[in-house]
Amino acid sequence: MHRGHPKPGRILPAPEGFLTDRQGNAAERGRRGFLKRALAAAGGVVASGAAPGQGTPRGESAILELPEHTKGLGQPVAARVYGVPSKYEQGLQRRESPGLTRVSAASVSFAPLQGMFGIITPNGLHFERHHQGWWDIDPSQHRLMVMGLVKAPKVYTMDDLMRLPAVSRMHFIECGANTGMEWGNVAVPTVQYSHGMLSCCEYTGVRLATLLDDCGFDRKNGKFVLAEGADGSSMTRTISMDRALDDVMVAYAMNGEMLRPENGYPLRLVAPGIQGVSWVKYLRRIEVGDQVWGAKDETMHYIDLMPDGRHRQYSSIQECKSVITSPSGGQTLLDKGFYNVTGLAWSGRGRIRRVDVSFDGGRNWRTARLEGPVLSKCLTRFNIDWVWDGGPAILQSRAIDDTGYVQPKINQLRAVRGTRSIYHNNAIQSWRVAETGEVSNVQVF
Amino acid sequence: MSRSSRAIGVLLLALALPAAAQQKYAGIGRPATPDEIAAWDIDVRPDFKGLPRGSGGVAKGEQVWEAKCTSCHGTFGESNEVFAPLVGGATKADIATGRVTSLVTGDQARTTLMKVSTVSTLWDFINRAMPWNAPKSLTVEEVYAVVAYLLNLGEIVPGDFVLSDRNIAEVQQRLPNRNGMTRDHGLWDVKGKPDVRNVACMRDCPVDAKVASALPDHARGSHGNLREQYRPIGPARAVDTSDGGPAAAAAPAASPLAELAKAKGCMACHAVDKKLVGPGYQEVAAKYKGDGTAVAKLAAKVREGGSGAWGPVPMPPHPALAEADAKGLVQWILEGAK
Does B92 share its domain with B8? Answer: no
In a domain, B248, yes or no: no
Cross-chain residue pair B22–A214, CB shorter than 8 Å: yes
Which DSSP state fits A150? Answer: B
Q: Tell me which chain B residue has its CA closest to the CA of residue A184.
A: B213
**Tens of pLDDT, residues A326-347:** 999 999 999 999 999 999 999 9
Of B172, B204, B219, the one marking the end of a domain is B172
* Residue B307 clears pLDDT 80, i.e. is over it: no
Q: Hey, are the CB atoms on B187 and A312 less than 8 Å from each other?
A: yes
pLDDT of residue B126: 98
Identify the band that residue B257 occupies on the pLDDT scale cut at 50, 70 and 90: confident
Q: Are B32 and B98 within one domain?
A: no
- Around Cβ A37, how many Cβ atoms within 10 Å? 13
The CA-to-CA distance between both ends of chain B, in Å, stands at: 58
Instruction: Give the lowest-confidence range in A50-59, A386-395, B42-51.
Output: A50-59
Count of other CB atoms within 10 angstroms of residue A41: 13
Report whether pLDDT(B209) > 90: no
| Claim to verify: residue B148 and residue B80 sit in the same structural domain | yes
Task: Please report the domains of chain A, with CATH numbers, ordered by start residue.
Answer: 1-61 (no CATH), 107-312 (3.90.420.10), 321-442 (2.60.40.650)
Q: Got the DSSP string for A383-403?
A: EEEEEE-SS-EEEEEEEEETT
- pLDDT-based confidence at residue B313 (cuts at 50, 70, 90): low
CB contact under 8 A, B43 and A236: yes
B197 within domain boundaries: no
Q: In the prediction, which pLDDT does B301 show?
A: 83
Cβ contact, residue pair A145, B37, below 8 Å: yes
Listed residue (B305, B302, B306) closest to B325, CA to CA: B302
Handedness of CA A171, A117, A136, B249 (dihedral sign): negative
Alpha carbon distance B133, A201 (integer Å): 31
B194, A319 in Cβ contact below 8 A?
Answer: yes
Q: For residue B207, what pLDDT is reported?
A: 95
pLDDT band with cut points at 50, 70 and 90 for residue A99 = confident
Count of residues making up chain B: 338
Structural domain including B17 reads: 3-40
Q: Which of B43, B212, B277 sits opposite A226 (nearest CB)?
A: B43
Q: Of B248, B224, B237, B233, which Cα lies nearest the Cα of A438?
A: B237
Q: Which of A53-57, B2-6, B104-108, B261-265: highest mean pLDDT?
A: B104-108
Residue type, A185: N
CA distance A113 to A282: 26
- Average pLDDT value over all residues in chain A: 90
What is the spatial distance between Cα B98 and Cα B206, in angstroms, rounded to a whole number?
A: 43
Distance CA A115, CA B231 (A): 7
- The structural domain count of chain B equals 3
In this structure, the answer to whether residues B81 and B124 fall within a common structural domain is yes
Taking contacts as CB-CB distances below 8 angstroms, the residues of chain A near B36 are 145, 155
Question: Quick check: A215 contacting B, CB < 8 Å?
Answer: yes
Within 10 A of B226 (CB to CB), how many other CB atoms are there? 27
B200 assigned to some structural domain: no
Model pLDDT, residue B19: 46
Please say if the pLDDT value at position A258 is more than 90: yes
Q: What is the pLDDT of residue B274?
A: 77
Contact B177, B115 (CB under 8 A): yes
Contact B99 A17 (CB under 8 A): no
Single residue among B172, B204, B220 that ends a domain in this structure? B172
Amino acid B246: pLDDT:
45
Instruction: Among B122, B143, B178, B198, pick the best mutation site for testing chain A contact (most A Cβ within 10 A).
Output: B198
pLDDT at B305: 77
- Judged by a CB distance cut-off of 8 A, whether residue A409 touches chain B is yes
Taking only the tens place, the pLDDT of each residue in B170-180 is 999 999 999 99
> What gap in Å lies between CA B141 and CA B71, rounded to an integer?
21
Among A435, A131, A137, A164, residue whose Cα is nearest residue A283: A137
Q: Do residues B36 and B76 share a domain?
A: no
Chain A neighbors of B82, CB-CB under 8 A: 102-103
In a domain, B49, yes or no: no
For the CA atoms of B179, B183, B184, B187, the dihedral, rounded to the nearest 10 degrees, stands at: 140
Average pLDDT of span B309-317:
69
Chain A residues whose CB is inside 8 A of the B266 CB are none
Specify if B21 maps to a domain. yes
Task: Find out whether the peptide bond into B256 is cis, omega within 30 degrees of 0.
Answer: no
- Concatenated DSSP letters for B126-153? HHHH-STTSTT-S-HHHHHHHHHHHHHH
Question: Rounded to an integer, what distance in angstroms lies between the CA atom of residue B195 and that of residue A75?
Answer: 57
Looking at the complex, report in whole angstroms how far the Cα of residue A99 sits from the nearest Cα belonging to chain B: 9
Sign for the pseudo-dihedral over CA of B47, B50, B52, B56: negative
A143-148 and A283-289 strand pairing: parallel
Question: Quick check: is B212 in a domain?
Answer: no
**Looking at the structure, do residues B64 and B158 belong to the same domain, yes or no?**
yes
**CA A426 – CA A410 distance, rounded (Å):** 8
pLDDT value for A41: 40
Dist CA A195 CA B222 (whole Å): 16
Give yes or no: residues B81 and B35 share one domain.
no
Mean pLDDT of the B201-212 span: 94
DSSP assignment of B177-242: TTTSEE--STTTSTTPPPS-------SS----SS--EE--HHHHTBTB-GGGGS-SSSSEEE---T
Residue closest to A227 by CA, chosen among A211, A214, A238: A238
The shortest C-alpha distance from A417 to chain B (Å) reads 8
DSSP-based three-state secondary structure for A21: helix
User: How far out from the chain centre does Cα B254 lie?
Assistant: 28
Residues B9-34 have a mean pLDDT of 70
d(CA A288, CA A234): 17
Confirm or reject contact between A122 and chain B (CB < 8 A): no
User: pLDDT > 90: what percent of chain A?
Assistant: 84
For residue A134, report the phi and psi dihedrals to the nearest 5 degrees.
-115, 160
pLDDT at residue B3 tops 80: no
Which of A110, A108, A115 is closest to A92 using CA atoms? A115
Query: Are residues B159 and B118 located together in one domain of the fold?
Result: yes
Where is pLDDT greater, at B83 or B121? B121
- Under an 8 A CB cutoff, do B41 and A416 touch? no
Query: Do B284 and B260 share a structural domain?
Result: yes
Q: Which pLDDT score, from 0 to 100, does residue A235 have?
A: 96
> B31-82: per-residue pLDDT in tens?
999 999 999 999 999 999 999 999 999 999 999 999 999 989 999 999 888 8
B181 - beta bridge partners? Answer: A311
Asked which of A55-69, B5-19, B237-251 is least confident by mean pLDDT, the reply is B5-19
How close, in Å, is residue A228 to chain B by CA atoms? 9
Banded pLDDT at A425 (limits 50, 70, 90): very high
- pLDDT score of B299: 85
For chains A and B, count residue pairs whose Cβ atoms are closer than 8 Å: 371
How distant is the Cα of B312 from the closest Cα of chain A, in angstroms? 20
Task: Tell me the DSSP string of B231-267.
Answer: -SSSSEEE---TTSSS--SSPPPPPHHHHHHHHTTGG
B78 lies in the same domain as B115? yes
Q: Is B159 a residue whose pLDDT tops 50? A: yes
Q: Which of A163, A190, A327 sits opposite B223 (nearest CB)?
A: A190
CB contact under 8 A, B268 and A88: no
- pLDDT 10s digits, B285-306: 888 888 888 888 888 888 887 7
pLDDT band of residue A438 (cuts 50, 70, 90) is: very high
Instruction: With respect to residue B147, please indicate whether it lies within any of the assigned structural domains.
Output: yes
The predicted pLDDT at position B300 comes to 84
Please give the pLDDT value at position A46: 34
Report how far residue A332's alpha carbon sits from residue A432's, in angstroms, rounded to the nearest whole number: 11
Q: Does residue B73 share a domain with residue B7?
A: no
Identify the three-state secondary structure at position A431: strand
The verdict on B265 and B161 lying in the same domain is no
Cα within 13 Å of Cα(A60), Cβ side: 11
Q: How far, in Å, CA of A430 to CA of A410, rounded?
A: 10
Interface test with A, best of B138, B223, B228 (most A CBs within 10 A): B223
Distance, CA of B219 to CA of A185 (rounded, Å): 12
Confidence at B321, pLDDT banded by 50, 70, 90:
confident
Distances (CA, A) of A11 to A55, A342, A437, B151: 18, 21, 8, 62
Shortest CA distance to A358 belongs to which of A321, A324, A406? A324
**Subunit contact B182:A311, Cβ cutoff 8 A:** yes
Q: How confident is the model over A295-318, as a mean pLDDT?
A: 96
Contact B51, B44 (CB under 8 A): yes
Query: What's the CATH code of the domain at B137?
Result: 1.10.760.10
| Residue B234 resides in a domain | no
Percent of chain B at pLDDT > 70 equals 89
Final residue of a structural domain among B146, B172, B198: B172
- Going by C-beta distance under 8 Å and a sequence separation of 6 or more, which residues neighbour residue A222? A148, A149, A150, A212, A241, A288, A289, A290
> Looking at residue A5, what is its pLDDT?
36
CA closest to A342 among chain B residues? B235
Average pLDDT of chain B, as a whole number: 87
For residues A50-77, give the mean pLDDT. 84
Q: What is the C-alpha separation between B183 and A240, in angstroms, rounded?
A: 12
Q: Taking the CB of residue B4, how many other CB atoms lie within 10 A of it?
A: 10
Instruction: Give the pLDDT mean for A361-370.
Output: 98
